[in-house]
């Protein structure tokens, strides 16, 4: 880590130039165009679609598919993600995934986490890319050996620069020539799209580690925040993600905004994705209960009659855990019986009744627990 006495690492001028130039052009050029010539609806729609293409290539492709292997995707989809990632100018799949795996392995470690949020918002957001902070491991791809077996990953890594130039100049130029709005396309589909795609992804490393709740774990700085999820195609449920990184979902409730998860699920319905990994509900609930109990214990320690209350609540905590375990075991037994022999209806229905009874008991106990936690956690 750099102390005030040690000199800062060398500036990476290329990154500095790309980030500041594109930002300046978008910040000045787009309002200027809007005021002098107006913005064309077709170009605006193309810019929104191109931004979504870049964003989802990173979240569904670079992040959940390649970095975490949370599902498998058809080569056609992997090819599109590879193009979208180059269009988003976020380095090659191989490099991005290697950085990201180090981030998860050493999260919040200022020395090793490439974008440790403990070094502040600026560093986690963009500062980490502006200087040679981790030059020593720049070409160290030992933690992504599995990805080197994917020919699309290898091809994209080899031709990354060419793909960046082709997509970033080719797509806006082609659309501008076809639509007759060349300047608008270069500014909106070209530059504004790139700047928005960059900062939206960067928010996952900065905001999603600083602002929000920690329902699953406080072992690291990752936070759950529905507003950040709105900006980041669902990646704002980052506390869940760091707790269960192999899960293809970041938001686990149907009402939470996670379009990346919806895309992956839709791809699986049409046979373009498979092997979608999820965490067992019992494990998720256990993590939530443990986190609530931890907070309640900390609060009770500060109360004058805390110890007595703590013992009583501990019994309730153990009870709610037991109910969860009983329910999960009954559900598993019922599902297994159903899978093994659907003809033995008698046995299956007995297990089903038992599972439903235990589910009702667990839900009742959970309601009581939540009321209790409302005043303590
Ligand atoms: Zn991740
Ligand atoms: Zn993170």
Flag whether pLDDT at 172 surpasses 60.
Answer: yes
Q: How does residue 342 score in pLDDT terms, banded at 50, 70 and 90?
A: low
Q: At which of 274, 304, 329 does a domain end? A: 274
CB 64 within 8 A of CB 70: yes
Ligand nearest to the CA of 114: 2
Q: Is residue 181 part of a domain?
A: yes
Identify whether residues 266 and 198 lie together within a single domain. yes
Tokens in use for 18? Answer: 């790309």
Q: At which of 228, 253, 274 does a domain end? A: 274
Ligand 2 centre and the CA of 208: distance in Å?
Answer: 7
CA max distance for the chain: 76
Ligand nearest to the CA of 248: 1
For 36, the 3-state DSSP assignment is: helix
Q: Is residue 3 part of a domain?
A: no
Ligand 1 centre and the CA of 159: distance in Å?
Answer: 25
- The model's pTM is 0.91
Ligand 2 centre and the CA of 358: distance in Å?
Answer: 36
Flag whether pLDDT at 90 surpasses 90.
Answer: yes
Which pLDDT value is given to residue 335?
84
- Helical H segments across the chain, by residue range: 13-36, 41-56, 75-87, 93-105, 121-125, 151-158, 160-179, 182-185, 193-205, 226-231, 238-243, 259-269, 281-300, 306-340, 345-376
Q: Is residue 263 part of a domain?
A: yes
Based on the structure, what is the number of domains in the chain?
Answer: 2
Identify whether residues 261 and 291 lie together within a single domain. no
Q: Is residue 118 part of a domain?
A: yes
Identify whether residues 188 and 332 lie together within a single domain. no
Q: At which of 252, 274, 296 does a domain end? A: 274
Structural domain including 367 reads: 281-376
- In sequence order, what DSSP letters do the residues of 207-234 get, joined into one string? GGGTSSB-SS--SSS--B-HHHHHHTTT
- In sequence order, what DSSP letters do the residues of 286-303 get, joined into one string? HHHHHHHHHHHHHHHTTS
Identify whether residues 217 and 313 lie together within a single domain. no
Tokens in use for 21? Answer: 């130039």
Ligand 1 centre and the CA of 324: distance in Å?
Answer: 28
Ligand 1 centre and the CA of 242: distance in Å?
Answer: 7
Identify whether residues 222 and 345 lie together within a single domain. no
Q: Is residue 80 part of a domain?
A: yes
Ligand 2 centre and the CA of 196: distance in Å?
Answer: 19
Q: Is the dihedral of CA 246, 249, 251, 254 positive or negative?
A: negative
Identify whether residues 242 and 352 lie together within a single domain. no
Mean pLDDT of the chain, nearest integer = 92
Identify whether residues 255 and 330 lie together within a single domain. no
Flag whether pLDDT at 348 surpasses 80.
Answer: no
Ligand 2 centre and the CA of 116: distance in Å?
Answer: 8
Ligand nearest to the CA of 66: 1
Which pLDDT value is given to residue 1?
46
Identify whether residues 147 and 231 lie together within a single domain. yes
Q: How does residue 78 score in pLDDT terms, banded at 50, 70 and 90?
A: very high
> What's the pLDDT tens digit per position in 256-280?
999 999 999 999 999 999 999 999 9
Q: Lowest-pLDDT range, 131-135, 140-144, 259-263?
A: 131-135
Cβ contacts of 181 within 8 Å, gap of 6 or more: 40, 42, 43
Of all residues in the chain, the percent with pLDDT exceeding 70 is 96
Flag whether pLDDT at 233 surpasses 90.
Answer: yes
Ligand 2 centre and the CA of 144: distance in Å?
Answer: 18
For 273, the 3-state DSSP assignment is: strand
Q: Is residue 364 part of a domain?
A: yes
Identify whether residues 221 and 330 lie together within a single domain. no
Identify whether residues 144 and 264 lie together within a single domain. yes
**Among 173, 165, 163, which residue's Cα sits nearest to residue 82?**
163
Flag whether pLDDT at 113 surpasses 80.
Answer: yes
Identify whether residues 246 and 366 lie together within a single domain. no
Ligand 1 centre and the CA of 117: distance in Å?
Answer: 14
Report how far residue 324's alpha carbon sits from residue 332's, in angstroms, rounded to the nearest whole number: 12
Q: Is residue 7 part of a domain?
A: no
Q: How does residue 362 score in pLDDT terms, banded at 50, 70 and 90?
A: confident
Ligand 1 centre and the CA of 8: distance in Å?
Answer: 28
Ligand 2 centre and the CA of 300: distance in Å?
Answer: 31
Identify whether residues 71 and 215 lie together within a single domain. yes
């Amino acid at each position: 880590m750099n102390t005030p006495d040690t000199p800062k690492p060398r500036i990476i001028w290329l990154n500095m130039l790309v980030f500041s130039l594109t930002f300046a052009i978008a910040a000045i050029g787009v309002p200027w165009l809007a005021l002098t010539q107006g913005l064309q609806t077709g170009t605006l729609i193309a810019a929104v679609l191109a931004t979504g293409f870049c964003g989802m290539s990173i979240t569904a492709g670079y992040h959940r598919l390649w970095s975490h292997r949370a599902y498998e995707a058809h080569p056609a989809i992997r090819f599109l993600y590879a193009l979208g990632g180059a269009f988003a100018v976020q380095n090659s799949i191989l490099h991005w995934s290697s950085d990201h795996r180090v981030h998860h392995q050493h999260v919040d470690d200022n020395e090793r986490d490439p974008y440790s949020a403990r070094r502040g918002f600026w560093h986690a957001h963009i500062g980490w890319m502006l200087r040679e902070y981790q030059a020593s491991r720049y070409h160290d791809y030992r933690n992504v050996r599995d990805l080197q077996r994917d020919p699309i990953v290898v091809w994209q890594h080899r031709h990354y620069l060419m793909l960046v130039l082709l997509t970033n100049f080719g797509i806006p130029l082609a659309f501008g020539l076809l639509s007759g709005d060349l300047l608008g396309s270069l500014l909106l589909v070209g530059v504004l799209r790139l700047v928005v795609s960059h900062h939206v992804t960067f928010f996952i490393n900065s905001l999603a580690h600083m602002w929000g709740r920690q329902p699953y774990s406080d072992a690291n700085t990752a936070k759950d925040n529905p507003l950040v999820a709105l900006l980041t195609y669902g990646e704002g449920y980052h506390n869940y993600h760091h707790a269960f990184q192999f899960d293809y979902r970041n938001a686990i409730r149907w009402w939470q905004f996670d379009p990346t998860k919806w895309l992956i699920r839709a791809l699986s319905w049409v046979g373009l994705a498979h092997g979608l990994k999820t965490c067992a509900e019992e494990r998720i609930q256990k993590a939530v209960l443990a986190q609530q109990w931890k907070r309640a214990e900390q609060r009770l320690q500060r109360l004058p009659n805390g110890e007595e209350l703590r013992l009583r609540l501990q019994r309730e905590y153990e009870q709610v855990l037991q109910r969860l375990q009983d329910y999960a075991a009954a559900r598993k037994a019922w599902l297994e019986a159903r899978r093994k022999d659907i003809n033995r209806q008698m046995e299956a229905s007995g297990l089903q009744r038992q599972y439903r009874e235990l589910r009702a008991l667990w839900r009742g106990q959970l309601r009581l627990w939540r009321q209790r936690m409302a005043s303590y956690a």
